[in-house]
Structure formats: structure tokens, C-alpha cells
Chain A
Amino acid sequence: MSNDAVIEPASQEAAADKNKILRMLDTLRNVFRGAPIFSLVFLTIALICALFAPLIAPYSPIETNPTNILKAPDLTNHLLGTDNQGRDILSRLIHGAQTSVMIGVLSVLLAATVGTVIGLVSGVFRGWVDRILMRFTDGFLALPYLMVALTAVSLLGSSVINVILVIGLLRWMGFARVLRGEVLKLVEMDFVRLAMAAGASKTRIMITHIFPNITNTLLVLATLELGLAVIVEASLSFLGLGVPRPMPSWGSMLKDSQLYIYLTWWFPVIPGIAITLLVMSANLTGDWLRDRLDPTRRQL
């Protein structure tokens, strides 16, 4: 009997499989090189909370319990304490993750879409189209976005869709400007010029030639904007003009906590920690992506 320390594969196929797995692991390791582990883990946790909130949360987030108000965190019952209406803070935190993640992702999606289209059109068509679109973009950039957001939600009524619309339509400018810069650089390149010379329409050039080459920047921007979107949503909720009650939002939890700041420390502190961690994770992931997706490498 052989005394090998390594288990030999039994046959040719097993050897090939083993190689394939090793190669896959190697690729995974390469893809995630230098990744901010804590941030990615936290983002995953937030995503899981967002998707499976009712299954994970120990208590109902909206059932009030007047006999149980403002209880300090204790390990047996309410892990993170209760709020001013007796609701379990941990459960509200988990459901609040749903709000933040959903609104964050969808509003960034909206902003990215609008911004990408405007950036592409501006960069490819240039000329007066570019000038008008950029003037339009500058106009939006000059708006005090929080003030406008508050007014818009106040007028449209507070609902999840309105908040998403408002945040999305006030954050597209960053995408438009940066992507336009990228597009302008790409348009000068030979492969685009050749396509134009071959008679490709501007639209075709935008979609087939330029867009695939800006996906890296787009992804980095989207990740960084996610953090900002979460903060804007929390700010809107904090001022009472975010998602409608009693839907839990980390921002409105902080708003409620203001009145009880002399009585409880956990109520004002804990939702804020959640917001900070989520935004930090998004920012660190964005930074990592920006370094990883260096323009000298292949696009994602």
C-alpha cells in the first residue's frame, strides 16, 4: 500500500476534474484579490436582511407594545432594546435594511440609467447636443439637492416609489459627467473611428462599441453612489419626508430617538451604526473595485 501524503486521483477523469476545481478556485482568488472582506460580508448580510427580513427578524417591526417601551438591550429578550413604542429595535433594524437596500439600489439604478444615457449621447453626438445636455446637467448640479428632494417628496407625497424617483433623478449628474469624460476619450480611439468610417450609425456605436468599455467606471460609480443614496434616504426619513410610517427606516428611527435622547443611549446610537456600516461597506467596496478594475486591465 502506498504511503503517499497526497491522495492520488483514481483515474484520468478524476485528475482532470481536480485540475478544473483548482483552476476555478484560483480564478476566484484572482477575482477577489485584495477585497475588503468585512465590507463584502456586511453587504451580503444587508442583502440577506433585505430579502428575507420577515424570516430573520425575531419580532414584528410594526406591532407596538406600550408596556415595553424604551427597554435597554438585554441578551435574553430584546437584543438591541425597544423603541419609544415598544417595538423591538433589532427587528426594525432588519426590516429597515430592506428599506435602505431597496431604495438605495433602485435609485442608483435609475440615476445610473439616466446618467449613462446622457453621458453616452453627449459624448458621441457632441456639438450642440453636448452643449445643451451639459448646460442641463450643470443646472441640476447647482440645485441644493436635499432641499429640492424634500420639496419634491412633500409635493408628491411620501411613498417608496416617490423617494426612489426623487433620489434617482437628483443623483444622475455625477454619472453623466464622469461617463461623458470616458466616452470622449473612447471616441478618439481607432476602433471607433474605423466603425464610423465603415458607416456605423451613432446609435450603434454608442451601444456596441462605447458602452461595453465604460462598464467598469459605471460599476465603481454605482457602488460609491449607493452609499450616498442610503444617506439621502436616511436624511429624508429623518426629516419626516421619507418612506411613510410605519414602515421602518433607519432614518426615521433616528428621528424618533431624538426626543428620548436624555433617556436612552441605544435608541439614537444603534440605527446610526447600521447606516454608517452600510455606507462604509459600499464605499470601501467601491474603492476596491476602482483599484481592481484598473483601466489597463480587461473590462468586467
Chain B
Amino acid sequence: MGRYILKRLLEGIITLWLITLAVFFVLRLGGGNPVEYMLPPEATQADVIALTKAYGFDKPLIHQYYVFNKKLLQGDLGTALAWDKRPTLELVWERVPATLQLTTASMVVAVIIGVTIGAISASRPDSMFDRVGKVAAIIGQSMPVFWVGLLLILIFSVYLNWLPSAGGIERLGWQGIIMPAASLGFFLIASHMRIVRSTMIEVLESDYIKLVRSKGLPSRMVIWKHAFKNASIPVFTLFFVNFAALVSGAVVTETIFAWPGIGRLLVDSLILRDYPTTQAVILFASAFIVFINILVDVMYAWLDPRIRVS
């Protein structure tokens, strides 16, 4: 088990290194001097040269890459161009809790609602409930996250005036998180519902369950105590795998609801052409996703010993 963890960690580090390589080159994508993206159009040639020297863009690429890696290992992800020129790592770190609150809340909502509906649908296949549920799931998976957000604002802020539409937790209290979490979680509810439903139906038809039923156990116990536990396993991994995709989805949600997280930091930094900050956000988000992936793999290996050997 320990060996497997070590192996996965090593693979994760290599993946992360590849990502830093990619991010390093993305900035030099346009072919031109990256500094030219960062300066306003009125900048003079002297400004360009000065900033180029300051960032070391005039040195050969290899040297730049060496400096980049050295700084990375020291935890220095550069300084922002806007935001009072603070270290980007600080900027990102400040906003991580907000994003985590959002993604966790969405996950919790999605799991509770999705799994419950999925389980009920599975216990009554082809009933009205099930059929409506299936259609709703398909529609739910087709709606773009930001549109769900807009619709929720339309219904709950504009027409019903129940909920506020912008800000973070500190400003709005717990009410502020309802709509953003619902938007982000909506798609996931549909996903979870479908997976739980199909897994549970499979399990409910298995011999194991037939045996339990023939022993005379009441239906409710059969469904919740036995079938459900077995069906939870794929849900569990879907749970964590989706967490990584949530980070991407958070970008749009945070923009609509003016949520002070790293997604919005990314969009703002792109508008301001503050690429050091952009780079920091992407590196951080990637590291987070790699970490979650390793966690999922390790958990899977712990649950299913056959994987460790393969």
C-alpha cells in the first residue's frame, strides 16, 4: 500500500512538472515579447525595454526556465502587476477559501439531492417519479452552468426578491452561497442521479440482494442498508473526479455571482492582462487537481486490492 502511494506521488510530481513546463511556454505563446501583453498601449519603447530587463525576458529561454523553476521551488510565483504588486501566491491563497466553500457546498448539495433522487428512482424503476427524474437529469446535464446561474438570479433575485445576487460569504452570510452552489451543483445532481440509479438497479438485481430478500428482510432495509452501500462505490469516485472539474466550473459561477474566489481572480487577471497572476492561478488549480486525482487513486486502491498489484 505504501509503495502504491509512493508510486502515485511520484507520477503526480512528474505530471505537475509537465504542467509547469506547459504553463511556462503558454506565456511565450504569441511569439512576441510577453511584456508587450502586459503593458498598456501607451507604453513607450523605453518602458518595454525596462520591463523586459526587469522580468529577465531578454535572457535566453533556458536561463529563464532555470530562474522560473528556482523561484517555483522557493514558493515564489511572481508578483502581480495589478493589486498593489503583491506576491501572486498571496493573492491566490487569500481567495482559495472562498472557492473551496463554493465547491464544497456544491458538492454537498449535489450529493445529497442527486444520490437521494437516484436511490428513490432505482427503487421504483419506470414509475412516474423515475421517468420525470430521467428527463430532468438529461436536461440538467445539458444546461450550461452560467445559464443556470442566470435563471436562478432571474427567479430568486429579480422576481421573488428572496436572495441577493452578488458577493461572498462575509458580506451576505449563508444566503449568499445558495444560488452559486446550486448553479455549480446542478449539473452534478444530474450526473450523480444517473450513476446512482443505474448502479443501484444493477445491484438490486444481483443474487446477493435476492438472498437478502429471501431471508425476509423488509424492502426498506434491503434498499438502504444493503444495496445502497454497494452502489456508493462508483459514486464516491465520481464525487472526487468531479471535484476537479468543479474548479473549472467555478470560474463562470464566480464571475456571475461576483464571488471572491480564484476563478474570478483568473478572469480579472486576464482582463487586466496580469499574466503572472494568471500563471499562479493555473499552477495552483492544476496542483490541486493532481492532488485530488492522487487521493482518488489511493482510495480506490485501498478499497480494491487488485488495483495495487496491476
Contact = CB atoms under 8 A, between A and B. Distances in A.
A75 B249 CA distance: 37
Contacts of A128: none
Interface residues of B, number: 48
B203 to A, nearest CB: 21
B146 A155 contact: no
Interface string A198-209: 000000000000
Contacts of B29: 152, 155-156
Contacts of A265: 154
Interface string A264-300: 0100110010011101100110000000000000000
Contacts of B271: 240
A235 B252 contact: yes
B278 interface: yes
B267 A239 contact: yes
B239 to A, nearest CB: 17
Q: Which of A154, A155, A258 gathers the greatest number of chain B CB atoms within 10 Å?
A: A155
Contacts of B282: 143-144, 147-148, 151
A106 to B, nearest CB: 20
B278 A151 contact: yes
A66 interface: no
B142 to A, nearest CB: 4
A46 B116 CA distance: 36
Contacts of A272: 143-144, 147, 150-151
Contacts of A138: 11, 15
A275 B150 contact: no
B105 interface: no
B144 to A, nearest CB: 5
Interface string B30-53: 100000010000000000000000
B36 to A, nearest CB: 11
Contacts of A279: 142-144
B139 interface: yes
Q: Which of A148, A261, A275 gathers the greatest number of chain B CB atoms within 10 Å?
A: A148
B142 A283 contact: yes
A276 B144 contact: yes
A146 interface: yes
B61 interface: no
Nearest to A275: B144
Contact of A268 (B22, B151, B267): B151
Interface of B: 11, 14-16, 18-19, 22, 26-27, 29-30, 37, 138-139, 141-147, 150-151, 153-154, 158, 244, 247-249, 251-252, 255-256, 263, 266-267, 270-271, 273, 278, 281-282, 285-286, 289-290, 293
10 contacts: A142-B15, A142-B293, A143-B22, A143-B289, A146-B251, A150-B270, A235-B145, A261-B154, A261-B158, A283-B142
Interface of A: 135-136, 138-139, 142-148, 150-152, 154-156, 227, 231, 234-235, 238-241, 251, 254, 257-258, 261-262, 265, 268-269, 272, 275-277, 279-280, 283-284
